[in-house]
Amino acid sequence: MEEANTHADVKSKVDGKSWFYTDQVKEHFLNPKNLLLGDEQVKEFEKISNAKGMVGSPACGDVMKIWLLIEKDEQGIERIKECKWQTFGCASAIASTSMMSVMLSENGGMTLEEAQQIKPKQIVDRLGDLPTRKFHCSVLGDKALREAINNYYKQTGQIDKVKVEGAKIIDKILKITDKDIEEAVLEGARTFEDVQKKTKVGIHDKECIPEVEQLIRFYQEKYFG
């Protein structure tokens, strides 16, 4: 993490003093909750955690790692008791994951089913909003969380509950995938024209346009509700 008082994402480009973000974002960036600092803290929590997820790559950009402690309550329901994390992401990714970790473990802990259904927009709402161009950063923690839950299900033999998301080629000429369209929506595209401007989808392969429009509606519902 960069020094918070010099972070380009957090300081205003106009006067160098005002924050782009809400007080909640500022708090979770300056004082991130449940963040693991250094290898020693990771090793200590790994002794008790029973799930781990990671998305991204340090070699090409943002990366997010999440560790979960999942326990059964008195009714035998699996709940997330603790959520710890590390990231090389920007201020928005840090604040979003910090808030997500609080949401997952508060009030006795979310059930795994509830956690799988959490949407980035719910996290952003708790933060009091994020700039549109930074919304996609809030998805890092969400995706790592889903990886961690899948990891837990695999370790406990609940293979039928594992949810796998794979890329599918939509535009057969330009080889544009559903993941490309997902990223465009997360970066602020709301209409087919917006998505096409970002990805060039459907310019040559006209047959894919109805499926692209359907995917745009799907991802808007998935992330923004």
Catalytic residue among 83, 90, 137, 208: 137
Task: Give the HSE-up count for residue 92: Cα atoms under 13 Å, Cβ half-sphere.
Answer: 21
Residue with tokens 């796998």: 164
- Chain centroid, CA 153 distance in Å: 19
Cα 58 to Cα 104: distance, rounded to the nearest angstrom = 25
What's the token pair of residue 70?
Answer: 């999942």
* Inter-residue contact 87 to 42 (CB < 8 Å): no
137 among known catalytic residues = yes
Cα 93 to Cα 201: distance, rounded to the nearest angstrom = 28
- Chain centroid, CA 79 distance in Å: 20
83 among known catalytic residues = no
Task: Compute how many other C-beta atoms are within 10 angstroms of the C-beta atom of residue 190.
Answer: 13
Q: Which of 119, 162, 93, 23 is nearest to 110 (CA)?
A: 119
Q: Annotated catalytic sites, by residue? A: 60, 137
